[in-house]
Amino acid sequence: MTTYDSSKLYNPIYCLSKFNPALKFLFVLILLFIFTSPPVIAQSAMQPLSEIPYHWLDRMDIKYDADFHLHSAVKGIWRKDLVELVYAVDSTYPEQSQEDHQDMQWLLNENNEWQQKPHTEISDRKYIDSTRTFYTIEESESTRLKYVQSKKPVLKRFYQTPAHLFEVNSRDFHLRVNPLLNFRLGSITDEGEAIFENQRGISIRGGIDQKLYFHSEILESQARYPNYIREFQGRFDAVPGAGFVKTYESTWFDFDSGVDFLLANAYIGAQVSKHVNIELGHGRHFLGNGIRSLFLSDFSTDHFYLKLNTRIWKFQYQSIFGELLRPKRDVGDQLLPKKYFAAHYLNLQVTKNLDIGLFETVVFARENQFELQYFNPLILYRTVEGSIGSPDNVLLGLDVKWNLWRKISLYSQFILDEFKVSELFSGNGWWANKYGLQLGMKYIDLFEISHLDAQAEYNVARPYTYSHNNGIAHYSHYHQALAHPLGANFREMLFRLRYQPTGRWFITARAVFMSTGEDRDTLNWGSNILVPNESHVNDFGNEVAQGVNTQITILGIDVSYQVRHGLFFDVFVQSRQKDSMLESRDFSDTYLGAGIRWNLSRRWLEM
């Protein structure tokens, strides 16, 4: 029996070859412009989506009115921008707390290719502590933030600085190579069954000639997930965050319900002018300031994309053109059917503390061909959709972030899939009034305790939001939602309490309360976005959590200790309780365990 060759999915050149000739010609023109243009301001690889550094960036955004502004809703954030923000905060607020200073120093160590390098002459070095780590005299006199080097690199070539296994620094080329590791082992307490994750890989990033930047990351993964993830896999034939999946039988543990999969993301990008950036790659994106995103999230697996970013004055404008997959069972070596999406996001810094964003996206299917009219970066997609007579799926969105009193950040998102004005305010519950709403708040240094931070968030999406009538143009990739993990027809509250008592200890308490309406038999009540919405049960009287009403509660505590830069030891416990109108669907999972992570973030599958 043949198996599908998933390696082609991670090859941007292969994916590009499958696009139509007009698109390939456009991309060749862009490459010619990059390589023949004069040098411009360099850009960098992005900080991967991970909890700790992005939480620290949130703290800086809320607490300090630095001159350098990040459009925080657009993630990932370029590493060069991150370093510039740290220096802007340090110069504006030189008396920041010791804890904040430690956070910023960690961020600089992580992204030190964009720091000013120390002199190489011994006479220019100044030792200041018992470990005899040295810094330049110039830097030590101007700021507490340092370019940190190791006194004794491993074999003189490895770990010359605390954060990187191997690095190269020259005028025209820089390179960072790091190992990736995530091993977690736990047990479901009621059943005594083992759960685990075993991921190993490598990360490579760098830049060439102050024009190009690149990043590549690959992870070999084996895992056995808790019952609710296995239930998701059974319903959607997919594992959250993964693409092609094989079964895995452990030689250590007595089970045959594990999964084996490969994760890879890679991109190459260039700053084609002072304000315009282009990037081609295979990866994920996140738009928003919340725990969830109703626009575009990193819940699904990586996909092929072309991305344009323009930043000028108080605007950041991002366009993403992506290729999505619609997997089918037992296709062998056949190419998976495709669909495509295009998304625009415009963010405006109205004032120093207020950001407003506009979002639009369209999902469509052609016979392995991109609809070229959607390459227009300015036109409204609904206009194009109507002019070409297409059955495509268009969504519009608005988001807001408002920082107050250097303590609080309020944020919100509104996504609109479809509506009729005459029905929107009638109270009749028309099925095609499809929209979602997010409201959230972050509060830092609670009770004046440094690094005790709280976050609360409410999300709701009406039935059939993100779905489509043809069963193809739904807002998903590889049977996984591109926005919220629950799809639609839900409401939820999320709470997180984070505490960092020292620079090495991290404690996170989590609580999630969800109410959703599941389908039963062949009845489509609007939660499964993969089902064509023309099969909706009722035209009127639709309400959130209709169908088989289900209440889900997740409680968790995670404690991490950072042994050295990027190397964490974790202990975790989580309880998930599902109460359904159908008793046969009730079950609970409580599991606890420990793990070790190296240059990888935690991924909480709260669904």
* Per-residue pLDDT tens over the stretch 279-310: 999 999 999 999 999 999 999 999 999 999 99
Tokens of 540: 């009127």
Identify whether the C-beta of residue 589 lies closer than 8 Å to the C-beta of residue 171: no
Residue 427 has pLDDT above 50, yes or no: yes
Residue 91, phi then psi, degrees to nearest 5: -75, -30
The per-residue pLDDT for 39 is: 54
Mean pLDDT of 454-482: 94
560 touches 569 (CB < 8 A): yes
- Beta-bridge partner residues of 595: 184, 570
Residue 170, burial from CB neighbour count under 10 angstroms (0-12, 13-18, 19+): exposed
Interval 517-542 mean pLDDT: 93
Give the lowest-confidence range in 121-130, 137-146, 489-498, 524-533: 121-130
User: What confidence score (pLDDT) does residue 370 get?
Assistant: 63
- Cα separation, 379 vs 222, whole angstroms: 44
Task: Check the CA dihedral 534-525-553-448 and report its sign.
Answer: positive
Q: Say if residue 337's pLDDT is above 90.
A: no
CA nearest neighbour of 376 among 443, 319, 301, 451? 319
| Residue 526, pLDDT score | 93
**DSSP class of residue 28?**
H
CA distance 522 to 176: 52
Give the C-alpha separation, 243 to 186, whole Å.
Answer: 24
pLDDT of residue 116: 74
- Check whether 382 has a pLDDT greater than 80: no
Give helix 98-110 / helix 51-63 axis angle, nearest 10°.
Answer: 130
Token digits for 135? 């810094």
User: Over the stretch 232-245, which tens digit does the pLDDT of each residue have?
Assistant: 998 888 999 998 88
Q: What is the pLDDT of residues 175-218, one digit of tens each?
A: 999 999 999 999 988 777 889 999 999 999 999 988 899 999 99
- Return the closest-CA partner of residue 396 out of 375, 421, 418, 416: 416
| Average pLDDT over the chain, rounded to an integer | 85
Band (pLDDT 50/70/90 cuts) for residue 428 is confident
Instruction: Check residue 33 and give its pLDDT.
Output: 56
* Average pLDDT of the segment spanning 392-415: 94
Question: How much is the pTM?
Answer: 0.89
For residue 46, the Cα-to-chain-centroid distance in whole angstroms is: 11
Find the helix or strand (DSSP H, E) in which 277 lies: strand 276-283
**Residue 264 — very low, low, confident or very high, per pLDDT cuts 50/70/90?**
very high
pLDDT at 584 over 70: yes
Query: Is there a contact between 47 and 111 (Cβ–Cβ < 8 Å)?
Result: yes
- b/e per residue 535-559 (b: at least 16 CB within 10 A): ebbeeeebebbbbbebebebbbebb
Please name the residues in contact with 220: beta carbons below 8 A apart, sequence gap of 6 or more: 199, 200, 201, 262
Give the CATH number of domain 6-252+265-598; options: 1.10.1370.40, 2.40.160.130, 3.40.50.1970, 2.60.120.10.
Answer: 2.40.160.130
Q: How confident is the model at residue 9 (pLDDT cuts 50, 70, 90)?
A: very low
pLDDT-above-70 percentage for the chain:
82
What is the average per-residue pLDDT within 47-55?
91
Confidence (pLDDT) at 188: 87
